Amino acid sequence: MKTQTAAVKAHKHHEARSGGDIVLSIVCYTIFTICAFLCIYPFYYIFINSISSNELSSRGVILFYPEGIHLQNYLKAFQISGLGNAAFISLARTVLGTIGTVSASAFLGFMFTQDKMWHRKIWYRMVVATMYFNAGIIPWYLTMRNLGLTNNFWGYVLPAIVSPFFIILTKTFVESVPKELQEAAEIDGAGIIKIFFRIMLPVIKPILATVAIFAAVNQWNAFQDTLLLVTDNKLYPLQFILYQYLNQASSLAIQNSGSSSSGSLAGVGVTTQTPTSIRMTITVIVVIPVMLVYPIFQRYFVKGIMVGAVKG
């Protein structure tokens, strides 16, 4: 009887609020759908233009669905000389660079919160000062050359290990952790290193995952340092190879288009590469690995910040 009464009340309460709830739900779902579309459509637009007729793509006709589907753009891109070695270099610098950046950010961010650290405030301010003062490209290049990091793979990894921005993020997160965790470990006789690895690292996983994503994307997309430091083509990363291909292929495509069409696109074939098709194809090749890796770290963002922290 009580169950039936409760069900009746719940049903009446639902009916009383159903109108407003429905309107609110419609508004919310509409806004979320629009936001999702605005986020997804640019990637979809680039992809469908990379597999559609290059003639139609160059004229801006492809907007919502592909036409004249072909894979010649990708086949030509994958035939670039040295692409496999460049992909390995990019993968290696991304993995090693991310590990180094996350490790340094975690340890320094933790140490800068320790009162026992000798002159920690001075060291912290010196690190932060590098965000605002930059000597310029020439002094940076001379420093890298004197350190033997030109035409050296480690020139990609070592300069990015200590990042002031990531250290500040980690330090701020560590400061939000209850001090009781560290004090309890110190009472049990744990030292700084043991506290860092056994107590702090499991708690600060969300911020480390965030730093890992930022660092990995920066390393994967970087090619300016190759322009300045590297002349050995065996050390060229994927981004630099694609950058060269984009410049060369775009120039050739413009020349071919101009000579064959005499000022129009009438002579451009379905699979004849154009500057637009080249840009779209390279963008997809560059973005897909990042999109595949991102979901691995996504789960850490939805976890509670204080996993395993003191309750009450």
Domain map (residue ranges) of the chain: 2-77+237-301, 82-235
Nearest to 174, CA basis, from 224, 225, 108: 108
d(CA 205, CA 106): 10
Query: What pLDDT score does 96 carry?
Result: 93
**In angstroms, rounded to a whole number, what is the distance separating the alpha carbons of residues 81 and 245?**
10
Reply yes or no on whether the pLDDT at 99 is more than 90.
yes
Structure-block tokens of residue 8: 């009746």
How far, in Å, CA of 144 to CA of 228, rounded? 10
Looking at every residue in the chain, the average pLDDT score rounds to 78
Give me the pLDDT at residue 130, please: 83
Start-to-end Cα distance in the chain? 40
Task: Locate 131 and state its tokens.
Answer: 């965000």
Contact 307, 177 (CB under 8 A): no
Q: Choose the weakest-confidence range: 14-28, 201-215, 245-259, 298-312.
A: 298-312
Please name which of 172, 155, 188, 38 lies closest in space to residue 105, comparing C-alpha atoms. 172
Q: Is residue 307 over pLDDT 60?
A: no
What is the pLDDT, as a whole number, of residue 263?
Answer: 42
The CATH architecture that domain 82-235 belongs to is: Orthogonal Bundle (1.10)
What would the DSSP string read from start to end of 20-72? HHHHHHHHHHHHHHHHHHHHHHHHHHHHHHHHS-HHHHHTT--SSS--S---H
Residue whose structure tokens are 């459509």? 41
Report CA-CA distances (Å) from 161 to 8, 140, 168. Answer: 63, 16, 14
Section 187-202 average pLDDT = 82
Task: Quote the pLDDT of residue 127.
Answer: 84
Structure tokens at 192: 């700084």
- CA nearest neighbour of 289 among 90, 62, 28: 90
Q: Specify the pLDDT at position 101.
A: 93
Q: What sign does the CA torsion over 274, 279, 285, 291 have?
A: negative
pLDDT tens by residue, 219-275:
988 888 888 888 888 888 888 888 887 777 666 555 555 555 444 434 445 667 777
- Model confidence band, residue 11 (pLDDT cutoffs 50, 70, 90): low
The mean pLDDT of 126-139, rounded to a whole number, is: 82
**Per-residue pLDDT tens digits for 45-85:** 888 888 888 777 777 777 888 887 878 888 887 877 777 88
Q: Provide mean pLDDT across the span 110-126.
A: 85
